[in-house]
Amino acid sequence: MNRKGKLSLNNPETFDMLLKLVNKKLPEANTMYFGVREDLNVERLLASMESVKEAADIVAEALAAISEKVRKIKPEKLKNMNVEDFSNFLVKIMGPPSTLKDMSMRLQKGIEKRGGATKFIASMASVTRLIEYLLTGAKGFFIVIKQHAFDKEFKEKLKEKEEEAKSLYSYDVIGKMLADEEETPFREGVNVVFTDCFGRNYGFLIPVIIQEFLRTFNEGIIVLDDLPQPDVYSKVIQWIVNRPDEVEGCKLALFVPSAYLPTVEECVDSVRKMVSEKCIVFDMNSDFFHTLHERASATVHAWLYEKFFEMEEKRREGECYFIHHDAFEEVNWEVISLRKGKIERLRGIFRRIF
């Protein structure tokens, strides 16, 4: 639902249109919305705090990634909370950092930027370098103290940050997505969930929805048409991609807009795993191209390079092609056109994938 443009589901008319389409094509589907909006005429999905507890490891890691007050959160802290406790905890860690915490985090970032603790220790070999390092750090400390103590505009921004945290994570807001009760919102059959929680503010809850589904069914297929904001939730993406390996009977299909993925290790590993056995590729960020062929022969590399070039030429002529990969088929790679009469071929591919 975070997609922009005319077809963004943040547009009420577009949402209503898609909802009608789902109801028409999947009349028996259990359709729900997960998020904080109140203007949608659809049943609300409430995930259980039990799912937060079961996904505590990744939720804690995700929260630490977006917090300006803490760098690490112990998963155990999340395992004995009710919704109100969780809300209070979120307000606390998502607020502005204190002066000392701000100093500490800026120093840590400075150390990381200069090469980490190893480089810092190495600098001690030179008195000149050590003095330079400490003076630069001291300058940063004075900037922090000055901002927190005397800069009126900065203090106002801190106040705004505090109010924003209260607004985003109050009990009334979090209570629209989480419940203390363990009553499952999912039913046998097809469950369709609309959510606008893929962004920074609530992306840490995507694993909770998935865990809620996996708690309900021993086997199931999860289809996601988006991923949590990659620049801050790369580890969450990795967690999602690993579900089929770690949960028996779980199958996963993802639509991945690779152009928006940062080339950090977690995302590269995730893409590598996503394309290793079965995938359909319409286009791909060139930074991830190697994941398609790194375990294949040089001829496959050359074939893929040539086919992407041909696909782009065809696209400019108004045709749509994609590359289909299935490691379990005799022909591992093929290019398929979506010209008239080829839709059944695509449907057959999806049936084989699942």
The per-residue pLDDT for range 209-256, each reduced to its tens digit, is: 999 999 998 788 999 988 898 889 999 999 999 999 999 999 998 888
The per-residue pLDDT for range 338-351, each reduced to its tens digit, is: 775 455 555 565 55
CB distance 178 to 36 below 8 Å: no
In terms of residues, how long is the chain?
354
Decide: residue 45, CB within 10 A, 0-12 exposed, 13-18 middle, 19+ buried: buried
CA distance 54 to 79: 8
Within 10 angstroms of residue 213's Cβ, the number of other Cβ atoms is: 21
pLDDT of 133 reads 45
Please give the model's pTM, rounded to 2 decimal places: 0.78
Q: Which amino acid is at 116?
A: G
Q: What is the token pair recorded at 30?
A: 């259990």
Span 62-83, mean pLDDT? Answer: 93
**Rg of the chain over CA atoms, in angstroms?**
24
Strand segments (E) across the chain: 30-34, 43-44, 47-48, 178-179, 191-195, 220-224, 250-254, 278-281, 321-326, 333-337
- Sheet containing 333-337, strands listed edge to edge, beginning at the edge strand earlier in sequence: 278-281, 321-326, 333-337
pLDDT of 31 reads 94
Q: Is 315 helix (H, G, I), strand (E, B) or coil?
A: helix
Beta strands at 321-326 and 333-337: parallel, antiparallel or unpaired: antiparallel
Q: What is the token pair recorded at 190?
A: 């097809």
